[in-house]
Amino acid sequence: MQIFHPGDIGYDDERSGFQTGLRHEPQVVFAVENADDVRKAVDHAETHGLECAIQTTGHGLTVPTTGVLISTRRMNGVEVDPVTRTARAEAGAVWQQVIEKAAPHGLVPLSGDASDVGVVGYTLGGGFSVLAREFGFASDRVRATEKVGEVVTALEFELVEAGDVHAGEMFFDVQHAEAVFDAFHAWHLPDHVTPALTTLGEVVRVTFASTRPFDVEHLRVAPRLTDEFGLRPFAQAAGKPLPPHTYQGDNVLLGDLPLDALHGLREKAADASMFLGVLPLGGALDTGATHLIKLLAPRLGVEEQLEEVFDEVRPFVIGRSRNFRYAVG
């Protein structure tokens, strides 16, 4: 195992991740390779009374540590068992590895829209998959957890039998946003379909996926910049990795989302130059919430603005998801 202190060659690489706006500032980084290494790092933190943070990819960095950083990226073994239809992923594994090993057996994991996200961090936060409404949260499929203290060293979880999936996306110019939001809100959504509605500056994107066929004709309410829908390998629906960047964001879970509140969110998010994500829940997601709302800004220092935009739906807020919290405490 390599251990890095400030000033060492490799220290900055080891503490850096997907979030480029902030980094951990640890006294020491333990670049762990196995559970024994994790034990040494945890013991060091305990002996010296230091806080201990874990980083795999840095996608979900919330509050940087000044104590011990356990960097798991070298500890990244993945095994797939086609007989039990399960996978075992070590602490530093990312979804792409599981997707690649499961695919030859007609199996897929409940991974999300970015295949370079860490398996463990994602699953500990619930794990909202591109097939979430059909199969539930990734955390529902966990069979065994290996731990050293609070650090998960490996997870064993069920895979889902699926080859190709029905999936696609539509992009609209933002001038058609109101009509697209109306159509999305009116969608009589079958329980097996998982859609997402996102505003990204000048465009509005709708994505959707299921292992079973469904219809999206009613969403074609305006000219599309892109309109793709068909049967495709799960890996394509699972999303491409993005380059590292600076971002801050948060989410809320809602017990209801009336149309006027949805439009209020859309307008307020646009005024604040933030990206808005709307994820309908229900189906196999047994949360009591109807929607998860995500906000994301490509900059830091927007904590107050995030809450001002969420004010549009404040009466309906019933909680927050642990995932989709970025650079917020």
Ligand X SMILES: Cc1cc2nc3c(=O)[nH]c(=O)nc-3n(C[C@H](O)[C@H](O)[C@H](O)COP(=O)(O)OP(=O)(O)OC[C@H]3O[C@@H](n4cnc5c(N)ncnc54)[C@H](O)[C@@H]3O)c2cc1C
Per CB under 6 A, residues contacting ligand X are: 17, 53-61, 72, 91, 112-114, 117-118, 120-122, 124-125, 127-128, 151-152, 242, 323-324
Alpha carbon 213 to its chain centroid, in Å, reads 25
Distance of closest approach, residue 222 Cβ to ligand X, in angstroms: 26
Distance of closest approach, residue 65 Cβ to ligand X, in angstroms: 9
Distance of closest approach, residue 315 Cβ to ligand X, in angstroms: 25
CA distance 315 to 326: 23
Distance of closest approach, residue 52 Cβ to ligand X, in angstroms: 10
**Phi and psi angles of residue 55, each rounded to the nearest 5 degrees, phi first:** -135, 130
Which amino acid does the sequence have at 259?
L
Compute the C-alpha angle 140/146/147, nearest 5°.
Answer: 110
CA distance 133 to 113: 14
Among residues 233 and 244, whose Cβ is nearest to ligand X?
244
Distance of closest approach, residue 304 Cβ to ligand X, in angstroms: 22
Q: Residue 284 burial by CB count (10 A; 0-12/13-18/19+): exposed, middle or buried?
A: middle
SS3 of 171-206: EEEHHHHHHHHHHHHHCCCCCCCEEEEEEECCEEEE
Among residues 112 and 168, whose Cβ is nearest to ligand X?
112
Among residues 42 and 261, whose Cβ is nearest to ligand X?
42
Among residues 21 and 82, whose Cβ is nearest to ligand X?
21
Q: How many helices (H) does the chain have, and how many strands (E)? A: 9, 18
Distance of closest approach, residue 55 Cβ to ligand X, in angstroms: 4
Among residues 63 and 186, whose Cβ is nearest to ligand X?
63
Among residues 107 and 196, whose Cβ is nearest to ligand X?
196
